[in-house]
């Protein structure tokens, strides 16, 4: 065994490794190099190896917001950093520091079980803690930015760690600097959440209203969110999918008024100076709900979700995506944008859910 091979083995690096079990769409592509990391020391050693070997780096968490379309060159790191630390600030506030590899839904369960408010509406969103800020995950009127105090990051090239305040992360609708200007240099290693010991529940959003009321509890809201999501979204353990495949598009108020005149039942929500449309409704009305294309299709209970029945590669899904986007654009003049991140990346590195 040569020196390079010995070093790779000591660092837990596999060569030409399958990514099948690391993406919930279950596409079978390979990573040129792959390692599963569970400690910061190991992560730093892997980044040093990648820098010394002039290899690109991609970090993956749960693989639930990921569309792999080809073999991935360079080093793929599977983030399994774990741990939750709690600091009770006073009788009203709790700071919870969560390692980036923790399962997001388990984090929500942990908070609810301790009667801490703030993330109960975000239950059952797939992925890891580290992916939550990248995407600025949100559901039922709540986004992660609402409770995120700061983010711990590691610099890809130097291995240095630092904290970034939430207000400086460039959070927007399903977006952040971690998807933009920082994606080539920073990986998230931990997140600090600011939760409340007592707070008002947010019950006004869509399907949560019934059967909830003023007497609802933190636990009942959590359970209702789980119930609604299970009704609409397939469990990727049983039916391969990446959750919501398209973002809800933002359009101008003028465009919205024009569409409302033509389609009175258009589902839309005011969002600052724009209007947010329900992408699932657009796709459903365009006739795609429940449709199949080769071995993939549109989920029959939620048109926002594309599912993989039998394909090993992404070609059929990419073709279906293109057909849906063209159909919706021709009907509504709205261009849908994909939510999952595509691999291989056009840039050198990114942290994925």
The string of DSSP codes covering 161-223 is EEEEEGGGS--BTTB-TTTTTTTTTEEEEEEEEEEESS------SGGGTTT--TT--HHHHHH
Q: Which two tokens stand for residue 101?
A: 């590899």
240, 25 Cβ separation under 8 angstroms = yes
Give the active site residues: 174, 244, 339
133, 176 Cβ separation under 8 angstroms = yes
Phi, psi angles (nearest 5°) of residue 205? -95, 115
Element (H, E) at 87: strand 84-88
First to last CA, the chain: 35
Bond before 211 cis per omega within 30 degrees: yes
Q: In angstroms, rounded to a whole number, what is the distance separating the alpha carbons of residues 225 and 340?
A: 22
């Amino acid at each position: 065994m040569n020196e390079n091979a010995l070093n790779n083995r000591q660092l837990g690096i596999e060569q030409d490794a399958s990514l099948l079990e690391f993406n919930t769409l279950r596409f079978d592509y390979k990573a040129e190099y792959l390692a599963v990391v569970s400690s910061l020391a190991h992560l730093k050693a892997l980044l040093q190896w990648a820098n010394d070997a002039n290899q690109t780096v991609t970090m993956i968490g749960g693989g639930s917001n990921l569309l792999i379309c080809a073999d991935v060159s360079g080093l793929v790191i599977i983030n399994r950093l774990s741990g939750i630390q709690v600091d009770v600030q006073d009788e009203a506030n709790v700071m919870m520091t969560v390692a980036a590899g923790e399962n997001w839904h388990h984090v929500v369960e942990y908070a609810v079980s301790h009667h801490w408010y703030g993330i109960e509406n975000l239950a059952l969103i797939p992925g890891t803690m580290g992916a939550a800020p990248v995407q600025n995950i949100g559901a039922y009127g709540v986004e992660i930015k609402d409770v995120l105090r700061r983010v711990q990051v590691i610099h890809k090239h130097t291995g240095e760690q630092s904290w970034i305040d939430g207000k400086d992360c460039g959070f927007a609708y399903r977006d952040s600097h971690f998807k933009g200007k920082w994606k080539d240099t920073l990986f998230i290693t931990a997140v600090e959440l600011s939760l409340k010991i007592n707070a008002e529940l947010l019950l006004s959003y869509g399907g949560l209203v019934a059967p909830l009321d003023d007497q609802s509890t933190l636990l009942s809201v959590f359970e209702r969110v789980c119930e609604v999501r299970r009704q609409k979204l397939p469990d990727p353990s049983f039916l391969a999918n990446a959750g919501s495949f398209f973002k809800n598009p933002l359009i101008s108020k003028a465009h919205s008024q024009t569409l409302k005149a033509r389609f009175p039942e258009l589902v839309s929500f005011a969002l600052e100076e724009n209007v947010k449309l329900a992408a699932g409704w657009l796709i459903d009305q365009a006739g795609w709900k429940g449709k199949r294309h080769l071995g993939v299709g549109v989920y029959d209970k939620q048109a926002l979700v594309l599912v993989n029945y039998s394909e090993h590669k992404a070609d059929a899904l990419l073709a279906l995506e293109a057909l849906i986007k063209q159909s919706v654009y021709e009907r509504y003049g709205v261009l849908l944008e994909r939510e999952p991140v595509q691999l291989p990346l056009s840039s050198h590195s990114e942290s994925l859910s």
